[in-house]
């Protein structure tokens, strides 16, 4: 009975994570620990294993849909790898627990603000700091002819953000998907369907490297993680079918991302509580 409940929960988490571009790892780890009795290392290793097929399935759908921006994905991912290594070294010198607590509250607050009514600003798209920064020398136009979309990005700014998100991942021991997706939409004005697809493409690389690392550390027990792997694969399939049927505007993406941020912030707070109780870091 417990295995069936875990399987169904994995499907729901993966489907929701696929729709909003987070992947679902930040939700699944505390669920496995609190409700299913996994220890911290096995929970993380199992989630990493489950994210690999889920992100691959989602990216295959998005590849066929032509909604992945490989340039933006590369500009974020490469600096993020360097930032992750630096963040891991910074753990020894900074008050990580306090910083992570503040960060989690910040994520919850940002998620809550996305439920507020939109303020109509006549000049919002052509004014402000981010608009000016997107037009400095390393700026260029990206066009997605399949979706009839065009948007301006600043390569240097996107790379800097990738580095910062990597530092946070290494410093706090969390995935960067739930930071990268809303930032691509809100800061860089990348269309939501492109942002979520690109974030899941990035997750293919990060989840695979995470799986290898945790496998070598002995944190991947196939007997315990295979049901989660199957559930995440099925959830990714279902999430993509929902996205395809609903269309780019049918899901009210910003509201769903707000819910995801709200839940992710609480997930990080739960991780903190578990870490402080057991004395582990992850």
List pLDDT tens digits, range 52-106.
999 999 999 999 999 999 999 999 999 988 888 888 788 677 786 777 788 788 8
What pLDDT score does 91 carry? 67
CA atoms within 13 A on the CB side of 70: 4
What pLDDT score does 4 carry? 93
Is the pLDDT at 265 greater than 60? The verdict is: yes
What pLDDT score does 282 carry? 43
* More confident: 14 or 122: 14
Question: Residue range 10-27: average pLDDT?
Answer: 90
| Confidence band, pLDDT 50/70/90 cuts, at residue 116 | low
* Structural tokens at position 259: 């819910």
DSSP state of 111: H
What pLDDT score does 57 carry? 96
Asked if 90 and 172 touch (Cβ cutoff 8 Å), the reply is no
CA distances in angstroms from 53 to 108, 207, 232, 244, listed in the order given? 29, 9, 8, 19
Is the pLDDT at 121 greater than 80? The verdict is: no
Query: What does the domain layout of the chain look like in residue ranges?
Result: 2-278
* Structural tokens at position 250: 């049918």
Asked if 63 and 243 touch (Cβ cutoff 8 Å), the reply is no
Is the pLDDT at 15 greater than 80? The verdict is: yes
The runs of H, that is alpha helices, within the chain are 2-20, 25-36, 40-65, 70-90, 96-113, 129-133, 155-172, 177-186, 192-216, 222-246, 253-278
Q: What is residue 166's three-state secondary structure?
A: helix
List pLDDT tens digits, range 183-232.
898 888 899 889 999 999 999 988 888 888 888 889 899 988 999 999 99
Q: How far apart are CA 260 and CA 20, in angstroms?
A: 7
Asked if 49 and 211 touch (Cβ cutoff 8 Å), the reply is yes
Which residues face 154 on adjacent strands?
Answer: 139
In the chain, the N- to C-terminal Cα span, in Å, equals 29
């Amino acid at each position: 009975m417990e295995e069936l409940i875990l399987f169904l929960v994995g499907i729901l988490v993966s489907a929701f994570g696929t729709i909003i571009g987070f992947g679902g790892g930040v939700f699944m780890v505390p669920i496995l620990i609190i409700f299913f009795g996994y220890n911290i290392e096995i929970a993380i290793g199992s989630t990493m294993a489950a994210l690999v097929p889920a992100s691959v399935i989602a990216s295959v759908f998005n590849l066929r849909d032509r909604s992945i921006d490989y340039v933006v994905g590369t500009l974020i991912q490469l600096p993020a790898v360097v930032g992750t290594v630096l963040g891991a070294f910074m753990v020894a010198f900074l008050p990580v627990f306090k910083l992570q607590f503040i960060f989690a509250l910040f994520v919850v607050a940002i998620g809550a603000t996305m439920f507020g009514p939109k303020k109509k600003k006549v000049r919002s798209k052509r004014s402000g700091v981010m608009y000016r920064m997107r037009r400095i020398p390393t700026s260029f136009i990206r066009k997605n002819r399949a979706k009839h979309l065009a948007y301006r990005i600043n390569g240097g700014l996107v790379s800097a953000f990738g580095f910062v998100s990597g530092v946070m991942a290494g410093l706090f021991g969390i995935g960067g998907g739930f930071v990268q997706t809303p930032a691509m939409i809100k800061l860089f004005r990348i269309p939501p369907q492109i942002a979520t697809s690109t974030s899941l493409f990035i997750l293919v690389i990060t989840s695979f490297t995470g799986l290898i690392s945790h496998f070598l550390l002995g944190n991947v027990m196939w007997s315990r993680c295979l049901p989660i792997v199957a559930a995440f694969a099925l959830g990714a399939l279902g999430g993509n079918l929902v996205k395809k049927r609903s269309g780019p505007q049918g899901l009210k993406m910003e509201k769903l991302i707000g819910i995801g941020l709200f839940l992710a912030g609480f997930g990080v707070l739960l991780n903190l509580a578990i870490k402080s109780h057991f004395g582990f870091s992850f």
